[in-house]
Structure 1
Amino acid sequence: MGDDARRARVGVLYALAAFFMWGLAVPLHFKLLSAMPPLQILAHRIVWASVFALGLIAAFRQGRQLIETVLSGRRLLLLAVSAGLIAVNWLIYIWAVNSGHLVQTSLGYFINPLLNVVLGVLFLRERLLPAQIAACLLAGAGVLTLGVASGEMPWVALALACSFAFYGLVRKVVPVAPLVGFCVESLLLTPLALVYLGVTFADGSAVAFQGDLRFDALVVLTGFSTAAPLIWFAAAAQRLKLSTIGLLQYLAPSGQLALGVLVYGEPFDWVDAVAFALIWIALAIYTASALRTGSRPRTPAVARR
């Protein structure tokens, strides 16, 4: 086996590991923490992700880059904005997983790549090909189908897609390495998380670290389940064509959809099937267009989920 083939094979394994985490392991992890309020899960996730990220910064000797980023006013300001966006995304995702809305989370992350295209046009002056316009219109029709049939728009899916798309837009313009940026975002959120957790311990509402060692271990592991897929995704991106990464990214929301319907019995009727079919067709058109033109589906740091 040649070096390129071996490199690609390793890259695929890294990508599959990352998307397995996001599609199956992460939602299952949060399901096991369902006894804890979503805001407490979020706060612990931030704190332990910061600890894990700092460990990785030390292991990969990126301390100088971290300090330079913190001392850069513009980059720090933009990362503060992206930190706020990803915190909102995480909170909605945690609440949705533990409230029986895994199908909507999968819908949100299926919509996300197409919403990235729209933001690229609006804010980065990118130009759309006719096939990409058709894909966006089809995806919009899928969302509208759900809204008309249910009498309300799928707000969970839209909130996840929008918060993550705007997060990706901000991170796109920040010249910082993925691990360093993730670490700074986590550190910016950590003081608020620690204050909130301090309040929960003071008023007796804290769920974690009350004597259940198994549950406490699951809480601490939120740092790993948050940061590890990011590292694996970055390793895959270094070894694979970007178009391959773009195609593999759909494994994660597919896993969430299967988990919601097959394991947790969330409703999925013919209206959902029609809406998802429109979005899947849109993604197929968009991906085929990207492959033909030698570009890739826009997949900004999916690892932040």
Structure 2
Amino acid sequence: MIFGVLAYLGWGMFPAFFPLLLPAGPFEILAHRILWTAVLMMIIISFTSGWKELKSADRGTWLRIILSSLFIAGNWLIYVIAVNSGQVTEAALGYFINPLLSVVLGIVFFKEQLRKLQISAVVIAAAGVLVLTFLGDKPPYLAITLAFTFGIYGALKKQVKMSAASSLCAETLVLLPIAVIYLIGLEASGHSTFFNNGSGHMALLICSGLVTAVPLLMFALAAKAIPLSTVGMLQYLTPTMQMLWALFVVNESVEPMRWFGFVFIWIAVTIYITDSLLKK
């Protein structure tokens, strides 16, 4: 269970890390995350049977890996945009919604049956999103996109029969050529921050690979060792920490009507957790 707690605590501290990468822009940060995560994962799977897994993967598996890599890259990009533009509460909302969206995706992709409490949770969450969309100052585009991209990513990953390390390595290898070409072009145009903002900035961008990979690998270890219902409970650590960071550290303001929408989401989350505990 300790790996699960550490994974979600790590994700919960992302709002503190990514602003440290400024003045790098979102696309430069994304490219460095891909590059250095790929480097780290290639080293890791060199000490396991990971390369054999990649070589033996069939065309269908690689197609799913390509699709999942696109969705996780989109998720990483939107998250950095949200955090580095002062919208941490929006990011937190996305990860409160995500488990409920995953329930819906389970119906669509895997023909899973919903229990009564799950149906109630999804309906109330949908009502909360509608409140935020039509009564707030602006629709929660970032939150919905974060929930959707990570939900689809999870659904695709469920169909990839590979170890966590090998699949993460495969995803970043798919994205690596694009990331490298982008970084070379950025450097050639004189807009790269990697070599122009000191060794500390360079080290932080390199560490973005470690920050990306370690929570994912710890989560994979936890998912194998503890019940899925426990994993389901732990996942709310991340958005809760992000919400607290937004309100009490960076002092983001939330208009009253958005609080009303958040209440719907939190009621839905409570129902979802209750259902999971009852099932257990």
**TM-score using structure 2 length:** 0.96
1:63 counterpart (51, 54, 57)? 51
What is the rounded CA distance, in whole Å, between the counterparts of 1:180 and 1:61 in structure 2? 9
Structure 1 residue 211, shift from structure 2 partner: 5.5
1:34 corresponds to 2:18: no
What is the rounded CA distance, in whole Å, between the counterparts of 2:191 and 2:122 in structure 1? 45
Structure 1 residue 200, shift from structure 2 partner: 0.7
The letter for the 1-side match of 2:113 is R
Identify which range, 104-113 or 124-133, moves more after superposition.
Answer: 124-133
What is the rounded CA distance, in whole Å, between the counterparts of 1:215 and 1:44 in structure 2? 12
Structure 1 residue 291, shift from structure 2 partner: 2.6
> Which runs of 5 or more structure 2 residues have no equivalent in the other structure?
none
What is the rounded CA distance, in whole Å, between the counterparts of 2:140 and 2:252 in structure 1? 15
Q: How does 1:138-153 map to 2 (within 5 A)?
A: 138-153=124-139
Match in the other structure for 1:163: 149
Q: Is the 2:41–2:169 Cα contact (8 Å) retained in structure 1?
A: yes
Structure 1 residue 168, shift from structure 2 partner: 1.2
Match in the other structure for 1:7: none
Q: How does 1:1-305 map to 2 (within 5 A)?
A: 11=1, 13-24=2-13, 26-69=14-57, 72-210=58-196, 212-294=198-280
Q: How many residue pairs align between the two structures?
A: 280
Structure 1 residue 272, shift from structure 2 partner: 2.7
What is the rounded CA distance, in whole Å, between the counterparts of 1:236 and 1:74 in structure 2? 27
Structure 1 residue 170, shift from structure 2 partner: 1.3
Q: Deviations over 1:31-57 (max 9, x none)?
A: 101211100000010000001111111
Q: Deviations over 1:138-170 (max 9, x none)?
A: 111111111222253200000101111111111
SS in 2 for 1:150: coil
Structure 1 residue 284, shift from structure 2 partner: 1.5
Structure 1 residue 239, shift from structure 2 partner: 2.6
Match in the other structure for 1:298: none
Change over 3 Å in CA distance of 1:242–1:64 after alignment to 2: same
SS in 2 for 1:176: coil
**TM-score using structure 1 length:** 0.88
SS in 2 for 1:59: coil
> Which runs of 5 or more structure 1 residues have no equivalent in the other structure?
1-10, 295-305
What is the rounded CA distance, in whole Å, between the counterparts of 2:86 and 2:160 in structure 1? 35
